[in-house]
Amino acid sequence: MENQSVNLLSQCNAGISMALSAIDEVLPAAEDPHLRKTLHLSKAAHENLQARTRDLLRARHATGKEPNPMAKGMNFLKTHTMLMMRPGDSSVADLVVTGCNMGVKNLHRYQNRYPKADPECKDVADKLIGLEADLANSLYPYL
């Protein structure tokens, strides 16, 4: 049970790190003040959840997993290429919504893979899924 909890938290930590990196990459390209505010608020919520995730990992004498460097690099290239080719809020929203959808899908996969994780760890995954889904929903008007 403890191993499944650590594994789920580690995957959440990697997902949060990836989300924060993606938000940081697109923020300079966001033009609409409401879009920028939405991204800043989501970043703050992700940072708060990351702190909780890391606290839970430390309590279990574990460290969090970082995102796959190859995936992070490919995301960086895709983001910057798309923003060069089609700058603007629509592209920012498209990139973030795609990332959110991928994150939600992966988090559900990890929840299914680690069903014996303790409730506190499952709650972190549920909160992260909610953050990602809410962010995607708030960006649909920009697509």
To which residue do tokens 């809410």 refer?
134
CATH code of the domain made up of 2-142: 1.20.1260.10
Q: pLDDT for 17-72, tens place per residue?
A: 999 999 999 999 999 999 999 999 999 999 999 999 999 999 999 988 888 888 88
pLDDT score for 76: 87
CB atoms under 10 Å from CB of 126, counted, come to 14
Q: Sorting pLDDT into bands at 50, 70 and 90, what band is 80?
A: confident
Domain boundaries, the chain: 2-142
Q: Which amino acid is at 142?
A: Y
CB atoms under 10 Å from CB of 92, counted, come to 28
Please compute the mean of the pLDDT values over residues 1-18 and round it to a whole number.
93
Instruction: Reply yes or no on whether the pLDDT at 3 is more than 80.
Output: yes
H or E element, residue 91: helix 89-113
Question: pTM of the entire structure?
Answer: 0.93
